[in-house]
Amino acid sequence: SPGHEGILRRQAQRESAARTYARSLPIVPVRARGLTIEGADGRRYLDCLSGAGTLALGHNHPVVLEAVRAVLDSGAPLHVLDLATPVKDAFVTELFASLPAGLAENARIQFCGPAGTDAVEAALTLVRTATGRDGLMAFSGAYHGMTTGALAASGGARHTAVTRLPYPYDYRCPFGTGGARGAELAARWTESLLDDPKSGVPDPAGLIVEPVQGEGGVIPAPDAWLRRMREITAARSIPLIVDEVQTGVGRTGAFWAVEHSGIVPDVLVLSKAIGGSLPLAVIVYREELDTWPPGAHAGTFRGNQLAMAAGRATLAHVREAGLDRHAAALGARMLARLQALAAVHPCIGDVRGRGLMLGVELVDPEAEAGPAGDLPADPGLAAAVQRACLDRGLIVELGGRHQSVVRLLPPLTLTDEQAEAILDRLADALEGVRE
């Protein structure tokens, strides 16, 4: 339709050169429900981008719409900075009830500007104030956001105050071994940097980690390695900040991804799904860290009542419907089918994931393998697969250190039939690019 083409053309003319998703996904969504988006051209797509993992319940879930409508119809204010309201009270009560044991008992919450990156900044300020130290430890391939502190903590960036640590990555193991041995060597690297006075690494104010690297290419951290990180930081009184912006609210098959390993973080960074598709970001942390002064972290948009209502409804629905367990079971079935696909497509170097956070790493099968048996990333092929998926009505996102990982982040409400349809289209797209 002219609407579709005209809108895309005007976007290309008027919007920033830095725009991202719009380049690889030239669609104009006008309606959406559950897994499905409908474009202005009338085409329908299965949406496995889900607002970069935001839409735990898919688009426009009835419980979210009802919760938002109830606030709109009640005459309650839509925005009141960080003042106390019944809507906020209900959200915090629901969120606190969901927290992992060990943190639930003595948690504090700080509402942040509505993006995940702002919550990361708050976490950094919190631990710097509490410890009186400045440095930060973060991991290769990490993604924590686009503001200065969060960006510095992200893998691609370099910042003097940030010490970069190796993240266990089975397929491209920095130590050339993969498996438990690779993870153990990564843990020892961290220990040796902290313990060797000649390493030049000052005592850090905190260590920040994603339980599954999302933007970094869907790389789940081994549970044993996360427990080692908890031990190492606890023994040295270094606050452990776990960034669950993408992994939280059932995404990985547990309500919080830290539950897989059983570690208790000092600070939990939350955004995306906790706002039920509306902007919301918070940090939840151990009470003892609460030594920062009033106003240490502020921001006008910390009081979005609609997001809190949508978030409360989402958290409650995931809990009541057991969608975290559903994500674990369905994700495992999808992973098995992806493994079967990898067996017949040499261009799939690796498939991995946890729950409904899945990744397919595309490689050049003709090239020479690396020390751990890994093949060079093929971002061109990944882009072609993404395009072929879109042509078949499937929206997927790319990620990874080389943008060579096809990422699937479907809603947790996904049915078996929908999962099959997604994988059928992906399989067909892979066949298509091979021809």
Q: How far is the CB of 301 from ligand PMP (least distance, A)?
A: 12
**CA 174 to mean position of chain CA atoms:** 22
* Nearest residue to 221 via CA among 92, 345, 353, 312: 353
Closer CB to ligand PMP, 374 or 397, in the complex:
397
Residue pair 246/268 in contact by the 8 Å Cβ criterion: no
Question: Quick one: 8 or 109, whose CB is closer to ligand PMP?
Answer: 109
What is the closest distance, in whole angstroms, from the C-beta atom of residue 52 to ligand PMP in the complex? 5
Which residue's C-beta sits nearest to ligand PMP?
Answer: 116
Q: Between residues 144 and 302, which has the closer beta carbon with respect to ligand PMP?
A: 144
Q: Whose Cβ is closer to ligand PMP: residue 32's or residue 142's?
A: 142
The smaller minimum CB distance to ligand PMP, of residues 279 and 331, is found at 279
How many CB atoms neighbour CB 112 within 10 A?
26
- Compute the least distance from the CB of residue 281 to ligand PMP, in Å: 7
Q: Minimal distance in Å, beta carbon 257 to ligand PMP?
A: 10
Give me the least distance between CB of 17 and ligand PMP, in Å please. Answer: 19
Q: Which residues bind ligand PMP (CB under 6 A)?
A: 52, 115-117, 120, 143-145, 210, 214-215, 243, 245-246, 271
Measured from the CB atom, the residue of 149 and 331 that comes closer to ligand PMP is 149
CB of 145 to ligand PMP, least distance (A): 4
Q: 240 or 430: whose CB is closer to ligand PMP?
A: 240
Q: How far is the CB of 248 from ligand PMP (least distance, A)?
A: 9
